């Protein structure tokens, strides 16, 4: 099925990159979006500034648990949305209940905005 047909049949499909601090299995829960991981992209160990620049070229959103990211990077200069997930831990049992809120925020993220979900 052509990409444009998928968009009309389903909600907007966003390409999402999960930071190293998030479990890979979270990607499967982000239904309606194409999610990948830093590890799968071959970017393990790359620091946030360079990682965000690489991500901006291939993805529309970056999900992380790094609450200090917005103070360390000039997010307004990158064409990528950042969603910071706030949970007691990065275990899937703590993240799975946040998936509905994550999906909702992904539908409203501006291209280079930052939002928080969770606690």
User: Could you tell me if residue 39 is inside a domain?
Assistant: yes
pLDDT value for 2: 38
pLDDT value for 118: 93
How many domains in the chain? Answer: 1
Using CA atoms, how far residue 34 sits from 18, 31, 58, 79, 86, in Å, is: 11, 8, 11, 18, 22
What range does the domain containing 27 cover? 11-118
User: Could you tell me if residue 82 is inside a domain?
Assistant: yes
CATH of residue 90's domain is: 3.40.50
Is the predicted pLDDT of residue 15 greater than 70, yes or no?
yes
Is the predicted pLDDT of residue 10 greater than 80, yes or no?
no
User: Could you tell me if residue 5 is inside a domain?
Assistant: no
Nearest Cα residue to 17 out of 47, 45, 39: 39
Is the predicted pLDDT of residue 77 greater than 80, yes or no?
no
User: Could you tell me if residue 32 is inside a domain?
Assistant: yes
């Amino acid at each position: 099925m052509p990409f444009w047909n998928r968009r009309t049949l389903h909600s907007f499909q966003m390409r999402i990159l999960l930071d190293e601090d998030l479990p890979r299995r979270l990607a499967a829960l982000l239904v309606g979006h194409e999610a990948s991981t830093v590890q799968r992209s071959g970017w393990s160990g790359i620091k946030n500034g360079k990682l965000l620049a690489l991500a901006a070229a291939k993805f529309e959103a970056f999900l992380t648990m790094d609450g200090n990211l917005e103070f360390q990077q000039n997010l307004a200069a990158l064409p990528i949305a950042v969603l910071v997930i706030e949970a007691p831990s990065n275990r899937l049992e703590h993240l799975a209940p946040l998936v509905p809120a994550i999906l909702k925020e992904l539908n409203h993220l501006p291209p280079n905005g930052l939002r928080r979900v969770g606690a």
